[in-house]
Amino acid sequence: MTQIFGIKNCDTMKKAFAWLEANGVAFEFIDYKKAGVAEAHLADWNQRATWQKLLNTRGLMWKKLSEDERADVDEAKALKLMAQYPSLIKRPVLDTGSKLLVGFSPETYAAELK
């Protein structure tokens, strides 16, 4: 079954949920802040989508980081930051088993999930 990872109250997540429901895609939602599963999945997600795609540098959590934390981000540092602060992971992360989609775009979902 398709799994969608994210944070329940996120507006982008709500759009993704609505799209999945409207298009009859069955899914399991996992709140990675509450379930604490982000760190366990990061290595796999990084292999399948790259840390650059996963790291949300436009959100509030990124802005709250210190200058030192935001400086010189490479793969190891990005993975460590996302494990420490799951809100830094771009939402949603949708795993179909064969595909990993990061972020929400109706066009991408339509192309990849039909």
Residues forming the active site: 10
DSSP assignment of the chain equals -EEEEE-TT-HHHHHHHHHHHHTT--EEEEEHHHH--HHHHHHHHHHHH-HHHHB-SSSHHHHHS-HHHHTT--HHHHHHHHHH-GGGB-S-EEE-SS-EEES--HHHHHHHH-
Per-residue pLDDT reduced to its tens digit, 60-86: 999 999 999 999 999 999 999 999 999
Residue span of the structural domain in which 63 resides: 2-113
The tally of domains found in the chain comes to 1
Residue 16 to residues 2, 36, 65, 78, 102, Cα–Cα distance (Å): 13, 21, 27, 25, 11
pLDDT class for 19, splitting at 50, 70, 90? Answer: very high
Kindly tell me if the per-residue pLDDT of 91 is higher than 80.
Answer: yes
Annotate 42-53 with b (16+ C-beta within 10 A) or e (fewer): beebbebbebeb
pLDDT above 70 covers a percentage of the chain that reads 100
pLDDT at 84: 92
CATH for 16: 3.40.30.10
